[in-house]
Structure 1
Amino acid sequence: MKLSLATSALLALTNAVAVPGTTPEIQRVPVPEGFFESHIGSVGSLTIAPAEPPKIDARAITHFYACINSNFQPACQNFAVNTGGCYNFSGNWNDAISSIGPDKGTTCTLYYDSGCRGRSVVNIVSPGIYNLNDFNFNDVASSVRCV
């Protein structure tokens, strides 16, 4: 009797083990009506998650050289800026620039108002503008953008 019981148990265990290369049959289980609503809330009340803000690429740094006198006469300064950024001139540089020259391959725009607004001198490229008075823009620039 013990031998037949052990043999039966062994046969049952052998039938329960998955055979490699065979796929067990999947049975669909019916879900009671209202199951999802009672467990996760109303199906129709989903809200869309706000999109993740786009990642901003690192911007290249470029330079422009500006002077308070024409013909690049002192006082002068080399400014480092991120391409595409708007920069307001502050202190002694606001409404004081008379000559400007960006790096080779860079194009700058000077603006009359801060925030890169108002009338402007566009497409300033190397070697630059020696006298902004030629553009009726001497000592009036308040902001700059270079790309």
Structure 2
Amino acid sequence: MFTKTLVTIGLIALATSVAAAPAPAAAAVVPEFVVQDPEGPASPIAPVNTTTHEHDKRTPPIKLYMCNKTNWRGRCVERQYTPNVCYNLGTAWNDQMLSAGPELYGACSLYETNYCRGKKVTVYNPGTGNLAAHGMGGKVTSIRCYPWSP
């Protein structure tokens, strides 16, 4: 009888603690400049025959420093991009970028058209002060960044 009462009290305590647990966090708010491909969600850049590992979910954002003039002049901003997600730049930066550089251990592919398609150039840290030298000056419309190490 004592064991049955003890088990019942334990189950009640467990049920009470579960009911008092905080609700799961709300889904992350996606910034408005993140777009999804109309033909499906943006897919990560991954070599063939690879699997996604648990640590991939913890990969921090990649920072990209960009300016609307060559040699890091003019209007400049530093933005963070979730690795392996395609971002359309929108009106503020579409076809405006003339110099760009990702943070250390980051790389960014800069595309001429929306949804990370078309002609591209990939920049690695420290980046380039003249995207025109790579055929992309004033032509960048979308970006996909990812971790990289030399």
More strand by share: 2
What stretches of structure 1 of length at least 5 have no aligned partner? 1-54
TM-score normalised by the chain length of structure 2: 0.58
Instruction: Please list every run of at least 4 consecutive aligned residues from structure 1 whose deviation after the TM superposition is greater than 6 angstroms.
Output: none
Q: CA deviation at 1:86?
A: 0.8
Q: What is the distance in 1 between the residues matched to 2:65 and 2:57? A: 25
Q: What is the distance in 1 between the residues matched to 2:74 and 2:83? A: 25
What stretches of structure 2 of length at least 5 have no aligned partner? 1-53
2:57 is paired with a residue of what secondary structure? coil
Looking at CA atoms only, which structure, 1 or 2, has the larger radius of gyration? 1
Q: What is the distance in 1 between the residues matched to 2:90 and 2:72? A: 19
Number of matched pairs: 92
Q: What is the root-mean-square deviation of aligned Cα atoms in Å?
A: 1.5
Q: CA deviation at 1:92?
A: 2.3
Q: What is the distance in 2 between the residues matched to 1:120 and 1:99? A: 14
User: How high is the sequence identity, in percent, across the aligned residues?
Assistant: 29
TM-score normalised by the chain length of structure 1: 0.59
The correspondence of residues 1-147 of structure 1 with structure 2, limited to 5 A, is: 57-122=57-122, 124-147=123-146
User: Residues 88-146 of structure 1, C-alpha deviation per residue, up to 9 Å, x if partnerless?
Assistant: 11122001100000000001100001100001002x11110110110111101000111
Q: What is the distance in 1 between the residues matched to 2:128 and 2:79? A: 16
Q: What is the distance in 2 between the residues matched to 1:117 and 1:142? A: 9
